[in-house]
Amino acid sequence: MKTDLIIFDLDGTLVNSIPDLTDSLNYVSHLRNHNKFTEDRVKSIVGGGVSKLIEDAFEINKNDEDFQEIFSQFLLFYKNNHSKRSHLYKNVLNTLEHYKLKKLAILSNKLDVFTKQIVKDFGIDKYFDIVLGATDGIARKPSSEPINHILKKLNISADKAIMVGDSEPDIITAMNAGITSVSVTYGYRSKEQLAKLNPNFMIDELTELKTIIE
C-alpha cells in the first residue's frame, strides 16, 4: 500500500522495556514490603502509561492516598534506570534505515520526557520527524487525538498513514483515527489477543512491513 507516514509505538514494538519497568516496580515493591513482580506479570499490564501501570500493579486507584507516593517513588528510580536493561528488538535499525525517506513518528503512552530520552539513548532519534509521548493537553491512546495531532503537524492524510504497534491501544487508536493498523506479534500481547481486535495486518517480524508498505 502507498504510505507516506509510519507511526510506531515504542514499548513492545521498537524497544523491549520490560526489564527496566520490572526493576522500577520492584524498587517500589521493596520499599513497601510488597511482593516482587515478574517480567511476565509486568508484560501483561503494561501499555496504558505509568499511572495505569501503577494502578494495576499495586491494585490501587489514582485517587487513593498512597498513589502519589508510589508514583513518585517509581519515577525517581525509573528516570535513572529506564535504559539499563531495555534493548531494541531485532531488525529495528535496518527497518528504520529502509524507511528513512518516509515520514516516521513515534506515539507512546509513556511519559513524553521518558519517550524522548529513550529514543535518544538507543540512537534512533535521527529517524523520526515527531516523537510524542504522554503530554498534557493531548489525549492518550486509544483516543484518536494524538494521531490526528501528528497527521496535522506533518500535513499527511489519514489514508496515507499507518500505525505499527503491539497492543490493544495501538489497534484501537488506529481504528479511531481512520488509519491502517499493523500489529507485531513479538511484543507484549499474544497473537490470539491481537487477532480479537482485527488489525488490518499482523506480522511476526518487523521486516515484514516491506510486504505491506511500498
List, for residues 163-200, the tens digit of each pLDDT value. 999 999 999 999 999 999 999 999 999 999 999 999 99
**27-74 per-position pLDDT tens digit:** 999 999 999 999 999 999 998 889 999 999 999 998 888 999 999 999
- pLDDT, position 65: 86
CA distance 181 to 47: 16
Instruction: Select from 53, 78, 103 the last residue of a domain.
Output: 78
Residues spanned by the domain of 149 = 5-16+86-211
Q: Which amino acid is at 162?
A: I
**30-39 per-position pLDDT tens digit:** 999 999 999 9
Same domain, 171 and 194: yes
Same domain, 96 and 183: yes
Instruction: Select from 59, 78, 97 the last residue of a domain.
Output: 78
**78-124 per-position pLDDT tens digit:** 999 999 999 999 999 999 999 999 999 999 999 999 999 999 999 99
- pLDDT, position 11: 97
Q: Which amino acid is at 177?
A: A
Same domain, 162 and 73: no
Peptide bond before 142: cis, by omega within 30 degrees of 0?
A: yes
| E strand intervals along the chain | 5-8, 15-16, 87-88, 103-111, 130-134, 161-165, 180-184, 201-203
Same domain, 138 and 73: no
Q: Maximum CA pair distance of the chain?
A: 53
Same domain, 95 and 200: yes
DSSP code at position 204: S
All three cell numbers of 46, joined, read 503494561
Same domain, 93 and 143: yes
Residue 214 has pLDDT above 90, yes or no: no
Check if the beta carbon of residue 107 is closer than 8 Å to that of residue 118: no
Q: Average the pLDDT over 122-151 and give the result.
A: 97
- pLDDT, position 157: 97
pLDDT: which is higher, 64 or 138:
138
> Buried (b) or exposed (e) across 31-40, using 16+ Cβ within 10 A?
eeeeeebeee
Check if the beta carbon of residue 157 is closer than 8 Å to that of residue 184: no
Q: Any bridge partners for residue 40, and if so which?
A: none
- pLDDT, position 23: 98
DSSP code at position 135: B
Residue 149 sits in a domain whose CATH number is 3.40.50.1000
Q: Count the domains in the chain.
A: 2
SS3 content of the chain, % helix, strand, coil (to 5): 45, 20, 35
Same domain, 108 and 157: yes
Closest CA to 96 of 78, 122, 135: 122
Closest CA to 66 of 30, 22, 110, 28: 28
Catalytic residues: 9
- pLDDT, position 172: 97
Residue 38 sits in a domain whose CATH number is 1.10.150
